[in-house]
Amino acid sequence: MSEEKQKKNQKKSQKKKKHKKKYRLFWFFVRLQVLFLILVAAGLGWYYFGGYAQKVSALQQEAKKLVRESNEDTFRSVQTSLVYDANGTLVSTLKGEKDVYYLDYEDIPPYAAAAMVSIEDKKFYSHNGIDIKAIMRAAKAMIQNGKVTQGGSTITQQLSRNIFLNHDVKWERKIEEMFIAVELEKVYSKNKIMEFYLNNVYFGNGYYGIQAASKGYFNTEVKNLSLSQIAFLCAIPNNPSLYDPVVRLENTLKRRNRILNQMQEDGKISEETCDQAKAEQIVLNPSQKTKNDYVETYTYNCAIRALMAEEGFIFRQEFDSEEERSSYEEEYDLLYSECQKNLYSKGYRIYTSIDLNVQQMLQDTLDQGLAEFTEQTEDGIYTLQGSAVCIDNHTGYVKAIVGGRNQNLSGYTLNRAYQSYRQPGSSIKPLIVYAPVLERNYTPDTVVADVKTEEGPSNSSGSYEGNISLRYAVQKSKNTVAWNLLEELTPQVGLSYLKAMNFARLDERDERPTSALGGFTNGVSAVEMASAYAALENDGKFREPTCIMKITDAQDNVIIETENQEKEVYKTNASRMMTDMLVSVMKEGTGRGLALSNMPCAGKTGTTNDNKDGWFVGYTSYYTTSVWVGYDMPRELPGLSGASYPGSIWKNFMELLHQNLEPVEFLPYIDEQKAPLDNNEYQQGQEVSPEEGIPQGDIPWP
């Protein structure tokens, strides 16, 4: 074959291949289009015949009705929530105060609207209520990151949600939110919508609207604020818990800077103005308000967590990775913020177990016990502080909670009783060492060795007494015995009891013998210690500490009614033996001199290294009370021990609390080394005398 013919054949072959390839592509696109049409048809069939078309239509009609019936007063109203103590006394009111601080659009600083548009909704002035591209970007980011990393809601959608809807993560709510946003844009101007939004958006800590936030955080009207302060406030609504200026100021400042950068990129401010605003120091100046500080902060926290649980949120303390912990905390913060907002706008009636008379008694006793210490910080807060919690043993509910010394400061202050975590010293021993070993064939009379080991701790007294009883080791708070027993038990097992009682700040690094002496990475709170000791009094059954008994709506329809369910953490007999040993502590041990005059009581002291933290936790059949004393910034307090300031505060308060109450003895434990077993406890086939219940034959007497 000639070379010319070969070339012609090659050209023909190439043409055929191109032709075939062309048709293959053609049929591929045909099949793709057919598949697409089938999917669309299936989707439409699912949409219509699955009932979704009717649902969406109903949501659209409801949206139209809501907007049609609205007027400007709709965006000014708010329902007031009320909190009551155990006797029906009004504790506090929670009101967003939108009606008081409402601003017309003309009175809102232009920078506020510009900041919100730059950071929340760049197309606010051009869209019709929804931004399809923003929704698609948010969906794409969610798919890429496996979670929601950016919002797709316009300012109008956010307003729709805040005024007309709840924050359920359901497709129905999202669809209705979009319908309402579109309807709002038909009825109200853009300026009106921005006015409504800035007067209704939540700025954290009970402040609805930018004027209320300005008064609350800076104690002045918003018209007096600088650009930097306005951007600072506008940083909060995106996530009021994450950007809370009171507890997470650094987060708020970072988002303020991001807003300023966005405003510069959008041409709203110059580079020089942006730099000046970012350099400006933010100093909070809270408005002056008289509050029932510690009761209110604890009550609100308990109420919010109860609402979160009602939403199906599952609280956790343990995580497999830092990523898992971070994801949990993000979800927690978002829902916490949402439920906090509802407290100020839903008109709840919150019924608590707090007794304001007992609360005042506990506050006064703590203040008097620390009155000699007058040193204060630059902010006028006492440097030496204390906290205390009282639990009603009959119900398991918190009866009184004191988070610090009373100074009549403005606004809310740190509630150390549940927000501060400190080293518990020896007060932790009954919980992770002694009660657990009493479940494992130890008794108060078991002989243990009080000896110094090479790697073990020293006793606070510096002396060692050899073979002693377990009861005596508890009485004298022997560090050597607690250390050795936890090593025998293993720290993992000991800490498992605290985990079962939801101690929040435990760490993997706590799995070491030093935990026997309270040497934790983070520490424990007064609420946790009171609830754990209350479990010992309650035959080992733990009840989650809270002060919320019932939450209703404004029409008194019950939303939440707590039951305070019991969970067995310690065995009954072990708990009773532990109580009996703690009674000995009050009579002959480190708590000697602190026993109540006319009421059987049990308790334990706790002191950390260098006298930085002092604890006393004790109980009667009626009440359990924990007391902590120390500096907010830990430092030595000469003379501080569990038996000194904490012990005297505990004794003085409990004496007052038990006036006119009948003495009640603790339930006795069964000494299994001496007492005969019940007939039902003998092994099958064992002969028993019906008259005396004494085993016959070769079975030894226990």
**Cα angle for residues 395, 397, 400 (degrees, 5° grid):** 130
- 149-167 burial string, b = 16+ CB within 10 Å, else e? eebbbbbbbbbbbbbbbeb
**What is the β-pairing status of strands 81-84 and 90-94?**
antiparallel
The single residue listed with the structure tokens 């009440």 is 623
What long-range pairs does 560-566 form, CB within 8 A, spacing at least 24?
560/306, 560/307, 560/310, 562/306, 564/395, 564/396, 564/397, 566/396, 566/538, 566/541, 566/542
Helix (H, G, I), strand (E, B) or coil at 384: strand
Q: Are strands 81-84 and 349-352 parallel, antiparallel or unpaired?
A: parallel
**Burial of 27 from C-beta contacts in 10 A (0-12 / 13-18 / 19+):** exposed
Whether 213 and 198 have beta carbons less than 8 Å apart is answered as no
Beta-strand ranges (E) seen in 608-689 are 613-619, 623-631
Dist. CA 8–CA 538, nearest whole Å: 100
Task: Tell me how crowded residue 219 is: count the other CB atoms within 10 A of its CB.
Answer: 14
How would you class 40 by CB atoms within 10 Å of its CB: exposed for 0-12, middle for 13-18, buried for 19 or more? exposed
Spatial separation of the C-alpha atoms in residues 443 and 135, rounded to whole Å: 66
Does the active-site annotation cover 687?
no
Taking the C-alpha atoms of residue 426 and residue 529, their distance in angstroms, rounded to an integer, is 12
Q: Edge-to-edge strand order for the sheet containing 602-607?
A: 398-402, 384-392, 623-631, 613-619, 602-607
* Known catalytic membership, residue 160: no
* Of residues 95, 579, 128, 132, the one with CA closest to residue 341: 95
Distance CA 642, CA 629 (A): 9
- Outline where 146-248 has alpha helix (H): 155-164, 171-187, 190-200, 210-218, 227-234
On whether the CB atoms of residues 353 and 392 are closer than 8 A, the answer is yes
Q: State the CB neighbour count (10 A cutoff) for residue 648.
A: 18
Amino acid at the residue 178: M
Distance CA 203, CA 471 (A): 55
CA-to-CA distance for 337 and 308, rounded, in angstroms? 10
Kindly calculate the radius of gyration of the chain based on its CA atoms and give it in whole angstroms.
33
Cα end-to-end span (Å), the chain: 112
The b-or-e profile of 306-339 (16+ CB within 10 A means b, else e) is bbbeeeeeeeeeeeeeeeeeeeeeeebbbbbbbb
* Three-point CA angle 480, 485, 491, nearest 5°: 110
Q: How many CB atoms lie within 10 A of CB 74?
A: 14
Cβ neighbors of 131 (< 8 A, separation 6 or more) are 121, 123, 152, 154
Residue 82's region, left for phi above 0, alpha for psi from -120 to 50, else beta, is beta
* Backbone φ and ψ of 594, nearest 5°: -105, 0
CB atoms within 10 A of CB 551: 23
Determine which one of 345, 353, 426, 648 is catalytic: 426
Residue 179 structure tokens: 């319908």
Find the catalytic residue in 81, 97, 120, 338. Answer: 120
Catalytic positions, please?
A: 120, 426
